[in-house]
Each structure stands twice: as structure tokens, then as C-alpha cells.
Amino acid sequence: MPHDFVEVAWLAERIGDSRLRIVDARSTPHGGVVAMPSGREQYAAGHIPGAVHLDYADDLSDPATPYAARVAPPDAFARVMGAHGIGDEGIVVAYDAGTIPFAARIVWMLRYYGHDEAYVLAGGLPGWTAAGHALATDTPVMVPATFTPRPRPELRAERDEVVAIAEGRSDEQLIETQRDQTYAQRDRDIPRAVRISGNQLLEDARGGRVADPATLDRLVHDAGLDKHARTVVSCGSGVSASGAWLALRAAGFDDVAVYDGSWMEWEHDALPTVPKPAR
């Protein structure tokens, strides 16, 4: 099983490690899709000691696109990481309020840019406090570092790849993973997309973890998916899809990519749609 999560006990034992970089990824949902404004007020009220705050939308997304959450270009991403003390040798642990997608988005971005030592804290901040660990309110002063982006295009699906799936010109699989609350606001979908709720993949009751193996196997089986086929995950803006990316890796999928533009790009570009399947 891929090593994508670290436990609270593991992190607590390594607080103060010179290679460790902790990222508070909390954000405040806005309009049900994009996290704006950022979660900096939450961070200021209390965070894991040594953590810096990064908002995936404000700090790490490409402002030159209308899609709000697309990952920033390599140079811009590297500047932000370096300014926050995250360099090529760092071990990065990201956490959010226990829902996974915000932390997963930053981990996916780091992995996409070739930084494999990036992990989500299982249980998020609630798991940290439930274990009796203290919070801090200071903002650490980080020594600037050098972050070298090495893009891994296999982790990111672009529009043309998804268009080929939608038009039946590709054998790849497309999974729509937007959370139920926001998916309910739509009446259309991308052609040939298979629906698996992000709520089920990232089982809220498990407190900041992906669903258990039996649940993941059932969801995959019921959807008729092949774990060995290239699979693209989509959602509203790429955030829930980043959490789904982790869940599918845990389920044993060999080749999973996030459709970075997701529904925001598809709808904005007036690409073909179909009615959502009846539930």
C-alpha cells in the first residue's frame, strides 16, 4: 500500500526535526467549491507547533486561469515553497480540519512537482488535539530553502485527455468524485464519467482518513472499475479529486491522475455534458 499518510504519534515524535516541515492547509469553503478566504484566522487561533500556513487557492493556484484552483506554474510554486522553508530535502506533513481534501490538495501538488516526501496527517488537527497535544499561536520564522520543481505529468490530467475519454476515444476511466453537497447543485456531468461520492471515499466517520479497505473495494466493484487501467478523477475544482486520488491509491489503483481543471474548467469551456444519472 502506498505510504501517503502519517500518524499523529509519528509526527509528535519528530517535532523539532530539522528536515520536518508542517503545513496547516485549513481553508474556509466559499460557494461550496473554492476555499476563499483562506484559513489564516483558524491558523492564528491555534496550530500544530512549527506549522506554516498555506492556502491552496490563495498561495498555490494559478491566478492566470479562470478556474481558481489549478496548480500554480513551476516557478511560482517553487517560490512559495522556498519562502516557507520547504526545500528539496524536506519531509512535508500537511493537515487540515480533519476532512482530508485541503491537505490532500497540497500533498498532490507537491507530488506532482516531484516532491515524494509529502504526506497527509491522518486525523488532521482534531486527531492531534484528541491525542492531548498542545497547539501554538506563534508564526515560525522559516529559513528560505530551494525547491526544485520536477513535474510528473502522469499525475495530472489535462482537458484533452478528459475530452478523449468523454468522446469514447480512450480506454481510460473517469470518476466524478465531487462531494454530495456540491454535486447536488449540478444537473449535468461529463460524458462517460462514473460517479463515486467523495463522501464515501473519504469517509467522514473515520475522522480524517480514507474509507476502510472493505468499503473501498465495494465502491470500486459496484462502479465496475479496473484498478489496473489509467484512471482520472474529477470533482468541482480539483480539491475533492485530490482526496479521491489518495483513496484510490489506497484501494490499489496503479495509475491515477487528477483532472486539475475539473468541472469548473469543463463548464467554463462549454464542453459537452450529459444529464446526471438518476440515483
Q: What is the DSSP string of 43-105?
A: HHH-B-TT-EE--TTTTTB-TTSTTS-SBPPHHHHHHHHHHTT--TT-EEEEE-SSSSHHHHH
pLDDT the model gives residue 69: 83
Residue 252 confidence (pLDDT) above 60: yes
pLDDT top residue among 116 and 38: 116
User: 154-275 falls under which CATH superfamily?
Assistant: Rhodanese-like domain (3.40.250.10)
Domain 5-151, architecture per CATH: 3-Layer(aba) Sandwich (3.40)
User: Average pLDDT, whole number, for the chain?
Assistant: 92
User: 18-73 pLDDT, tens per residue?
Assistant: 999 999 999 876 444 444 446 899 999 999 999 999 999 889 999 888 877 899 99
Q: Examine the pLDDT at 10 and tell me if it is beyond 80.
A: yes
Q: What is the pLDDT of residue 112?
A: 98
- Determine what percent of the chain is predicted with pLDDT higher than 70: 93
Place of cell 517535532: 15
Residue 103 has pLDDT above 60, yes or no: yes
For residue 109, pLDDT beyond 80: yes
Amino acid letter for position 147? F
Report residue 131 as a C-alpha cell. 491525542
Task: Delimit the CATH 3.40.250.10 region(s) of the chain.
Answer: 5-151, 154-275
pLDDT tops 50 at residue 123: yes
How much is the average pLDDT of 76-95? 98
Give the model confidence (pLDDT) of 183-241 as tens digits. 998 999 999 999 999 999 987 656 788 999 999 999 999 999 999 999 999 999 999 99
Q: What is the pTM of this model?
A: 0.94
* Cα distances (Å, whole numbers) of residue 163 to 172, 260, 270, 272: 11, 13, 12, 9
